A and B are shown apart, each in its own frame.
Chain A
Amino acid sequence: MNAALAISATGLTRRFGKVTAVDGVDLAIPRAGIYGFLGPNGSGKSTTIRLLCGLLEPSAGSVEVLGHVMPRDAERLRRQLGYMTQRFSLWDDLTVAENLEFMARIFGLGAAARRRRIAALADEYDLGRLLRQRAGTMSGGQRQRLALAAATLHEPELLLLDEPTSAVDPQSRRDFWESLFALVHRGTTILVSTHYMDEAERCHRLAILAEGRLVAEGAPRDLMSDIAAAVVEIEAEDVTAARAALADDEKIRSIAQLGTRLHALLDLDTPDPQGRISARLGGAGVTARVQAVPASLEDVFVVATGFRGSQAPVPVQH
């Protein structure tokens, strides 16, 4: 196995009865970076993470995590793995200090190491004043800092974070991501699932999941520049009229409204997307400013997930 890879998977599949939650996913996740799973709810992000840490057994396919074959060597991986569940899963009725103390003992840290690590993490994640407070009485951001502290007590090589910021305000999210970059700087590999575009854009690499399948993979910048669609922005006085004029164009695969602007995705083989739209709007008597713009990550997501709601799915890059 490639020593530069933290995680490698081939054909990873997990079925629950008739439902296939994860369907033939291949992964090659490099070390010391932040790797993102982007996808809507039910796209298989959480199931994939659970397969990677041995919480679930795959129905088919193979996974190696930090050189351990999963789920066979799951127990050997434990010490090198930090896991933050989607839901806060420390104990509400224990204080911050008690929660950290408990997790440190579970990970087999000796008394001196425990004191040192808890003090260091309380300092790093601003938990010093909260040590004697019960976790159940804290805010979403504070709980999340506690959960991150608990997951990194034993200085894991790999950190799996399942939608860590879903219950957190924007400022806490920013701080949280700063903490993640600090961890990566020290050599930690981080795998994070999210459904926020701005978070996905911060990742070193990204996998877009839809209905259990990996539909796009790469660095966010590459994904945006290599998008398999033409992106056109329309600024019209009468947005509704503009929208109506473009509604039945077979080359337009998706239109999203952003305030007074419309954001259209057209088939990549459209000869002159900008001209085509200008002509259409002109024909309908709608005055608008039309320009080609670079794709956003959201555009990549819309293309990769096959223009949800449109008739024919377009082939996507893989």
Chain B
Amino acid sequence: MASALQSITLRRLAIATVVVMGAGYALAFLYAPEDADQGFIQKIFYLHVPLAMVALLGFIVAGIHAIRHLRTGDPKHDARSYVSIHISVIFGAGVLLTGAIWAKGSWGVWWEWREPTLVSFLIVFLLYATYYPLRYAIEDRERQARYASVFAITAGAFVPLNFLAVRLAQPLVHPRTFSSAGGLPDSMLLAFLVCLAGMALLWATLVWFELDAKAASANLSRIRRRLEATT
């Protein structure tokens, strides 16, 4: 198991991402039938929903890394928590954008307050967007990492509670517009699941890449400092 994990490299992960995502969207456009009700615009479902699910999962992963950081004090876990939130916030912007396009395409409005999942997502996005000003407002490195972890845990606990609260705020008569994956025909479900896997791989690749880039630039400045000290 350990050796199998070690044989995964960033390059291999990136190749797997391209293959799975390519297959997923090929299935979505060529194999899955066009939605009888919504038509072609429904294809955005294969982009919007995987983005949202992976972004939310990323926020939870960030919370878990934050707990490990506070437990161990190891800055490695803080870096993972930070980058997880970073990539999930970028995915989150994509969710809101694709959600607005879908709303315009199928309901004729750019924003629909009665769609609780989208509204919940907006609130979660607004909260996580404050992670950046929080981090940059604390200079001491160690304190910055600790406070960011406390934020990541608080926000992680907030995510499910917020979804519950927004759902409760809906007038009970509004029909659920996005049917859950369970109600999909098999061909659509298959395409969706492959797209979801591809999106998860993309998230993992981007997180890994960003962590490598951060480590490399930290190394570079350390070497540069040593060079300046010797000359």
Q: Is this pair of chains taken from one and the same complex? A: no
